[in-house]
Every structure is written in C-alpha cells, then in structure tokens.
Structure 1
C-alpha cells in the first residue's frame, strides 16, 4: 500500500511516497498543490527531516529508503548517498566509486532515474568540467539545492 503526502518546500511542492516500511519516491510537482497532513509516522518523520534540511539544521538524512531500480542503479544510488553535504562529484567519480570507470553514461542515466531526489543527493553530481548538467527536477532546483548546501 502506497501512502503519500504533499510537503511545501523552497523547491516547490514535493509528493513524498512510502510503503509501510520505507520512503519509495519523492516527486517534484510543478503546479501548486495544497500541503497535506502526513498520514503515517514515517511520512511525518520524512517531512520533519526534509524541513530541517531546508532550514539548514540537517545535513544527513536517517530515513529507511526503498528506491525501486536495477542492481546497477542501486549501486549508483548507494554511491550518491556517500557524497557528503556541500560536496560535489562528477559522473566519472561515481563510475569509479562503483568500480566501473567506463560506465559514465550509464551512471548519468541511473542518476536521472533516482526516485528519491534530495534524500539520495543526485543534485550533487555535476559535469566533469564543473557545469550543472541535467536534473529531473530542473536545473533551477539543482542550483538552489547546491547553493543551499554551500551557504549553510
């Protein structure tokens, strides 16, 4: 059973989805949507941690996560979780971290399919030349998240 809530954030409304045991998805919404009251302790905890992140009081999430993906995607997402707050990595850095340095494009594809953005910090991955590259939530959100982590 999927449960969800809507959280208003500086990056726009977020739809947070969970199973009974873990966070499964966060979706950036482009249209204004009224915030909803979390219907479970896990959704409340997720909202509390995201709110603390957005005000600069939390630099590492401690939530149970269950992103659906292939074994390769799972390895990439685990590598993203190892990127410290306020730091950036290139796609080639992530490919090397998972032991497959030639898989830069596949890392980019897995990064783009991350179902739990912000918590699994795919926004911290940039181009090898330091440029901001694609982000499922849009480059404006990616820039905001990176700026937020360097200002706090």
Structure 2
C-alpha cells in the first residue's frame, strides 16, 4: 500500500503516547501471529512484543490484571486522519509520532538523571523546544479539545 493512501481498516492512533503508558507495564510477551501469504505463496509469521498493563473497564466494572494490550488501548481509529489532503491523509499522525519519539528521548534523559539522584539536568535548546511543543500539543488531546476538533459531544 502506498504511503498516504486511505486504508479500509484505518489506523489506530493513540491519544496517550505509548512511552507514557509504558510506565505501567506489567509484562512484555513475544507474540507470533500467523502471517499473510507473501508473493511466493509462503506464510510469513508476524512477531511483535505485546506490552501488557493493568486496566479497569468502567462500563463493565471489571479489573483486568496484566492482560490489557497497551498497543490496543488509549486510542481511536483514524483520530488524526486528515482527509483535507487526499495525497497524505496520515501526515498529522506521522508528525505527532516523530514529536512523541523525540519527547520520549528527552524524558528518558530526565528519568535517568532522577534515577541517579541528580538534582538538576542540563538540556540543550532543541530538547527544551521539543518538550515545549510536546506539552503544548498534549493539552489539545483532552476531552474538551477533542470535541472542538472532532465534532464529538462527550457525556458522562
């Protein structure tokens, strides 16, 4: 499939960055799924790391201990899809993914400093700017702002 073309299934877009959710990891499993047929007619299994967290389902009043797949939670299908540019509908998601990746590296620096008992951390301007952008955009990922941009009304 070419980059930027719409997919029939859509993409799962996380509204909580995965590097944040990983703070609550309970277990990481290596999972092998049966793959699709390749051009040669062979099946190539798909392997990935399944990151499991604890979760609580409010609707069913059920606690799930170490069985919730982080990769399939805290997100919505095609949340950042932008149909305004049909040549690249997932450009916003890719840009956010890059920013999140850059921010995760800066947070790792901060975490490492804390683990070593440091009382201060020196960051270069680009790292500070990355954090500034990330934190600014994070405020727009909450329920109130999502209503504004997605045209959705949230009820409690």
Q: Which has the higher strand share?
A: 2
> TM-score of the superposition, structure 1-length normalised?
0.25
TM-score w.r.t. the length of structure 2 is: 0.25
Higher radius of gyration, 1 or 2: 2
